[in-house]
Structure 1
Amino acid sequence: MRRWRWPALAPPATGGNRVHGPSLLAASPCVRLELSEIVAYPSGMQLLLALTATDISAQIACHETRALTDRNDFSAHWSYLTVQIGVDDLHGEADPYCPVTTAAGSGTTTFYRTVPGYWIRTPTSGVVTLTAAWPLIGLEPITTTLGVATVVE
C-alpha cells in the first residue's frame, strides 16, 4: 500500500446515495465514536463521523482543540481526532473538511461533539478500512473494515 494523505475536500452538493451507516465504532463511559454514514457519488465517497465526549474527556478535548487558522503556528501542542483511511492501495491520514464542533460546559456537565467529514475515492474492492484515535481524551485506536457498495445510481 502507498502512503497517502486524503485532502480536505468537500463532496458534490447533489447526487449522492447512502451506502453505509450508521454504526457505532467505539463507546466508553466518556467517549463515543460513530460512523454516521457513507455517501457514494460518481466521483468518490463521503464519510461522516460523529465523536461525542463528556465529563473529563470533554474538558480535555475543549482544551486541546482550536481552529486551524495558522497551520504554521507551532507555539503550542494541540491534539485532535486522527483518522487513517485505507482504500485499495492507498492508506493514510485524512484531513476533515469543515468539521462542525460543539462544546458546552456548565457546573459539572461538560460536552464536546465534533462531526468531521472526509472525502475519499471510491474503492474498486468495495472495502474501506478506517482507523480513528484520540488517546489524550480516552479514544484508543480503533480499526474497522467496512464493505461498501461501489455502484452509484
Structure 2
Amino acid sequence: MATAAGVSRTTLHRHFADRAELLAAAIAHANDVIAAAITNADISHGDAREALRRLVAGLIEAGDHIVFLFYSYATDEDQDDAKRGDAGDQAVIDLIRRGQSEGVITGDLDAKWIENALWSLIFAGCEDTRSGGLPRHIVIANVIRTLEGGIAL
C-alpha cells in the first residue's frame, strides 16, 4: 500500500498503527470520493435521463476508488454492510424513482434492481479502464448505452 500511495513504509507506519487502521482509512476515503462524485453530478436536478448520464460519468471518473472498494469488500470477511457506507445509495434510488415517474426509466423493474445493475455496469467499466481495455470516455458512453437500453421504455 505504501508504494501505491507514493510513500515509504516508514511514513505509512507513522500515520497508521496497523494494516486494519490503514485499510479503514482508505475505505473511508474511497467512500468520500464516491459520495462527492454523486453530489457533484447534481442528480436531484434537471431531467432524470441527463442526471443519470452525469452520475455515470462522475462514477466512472472515480473508478479507481470503486474498484478498490469492490476488492477490499470482497477480500475482507470482517466488513459488514454497516461499515461500508452507502456512497449515496438513497440519492441514486431517488433518481431512479424520479426517472420512473417521468417515464424515462421502466417502471416494471424495482428501483433497487436497477441500482444494482447500474453499480455492476459501473464496476465493469471501471475495471475495463483500469486494465487498459478502453479509455474512460468510451466506457462512459458504453455504460450509458447499455444501461439506457436495458431500462428504457
TM over 0.5: no
Higher helix share: 2
Larger Rg: 2
Question: Which TM-score band applies after superposition, normalised by the shorter structure?
Answer: under 0.3
Give the alignment's TM-score, normalised by structure 2. 0.26
- Where relative contact order (Cα < 8 A, 6+ residues apart) is larger, the structure is 1
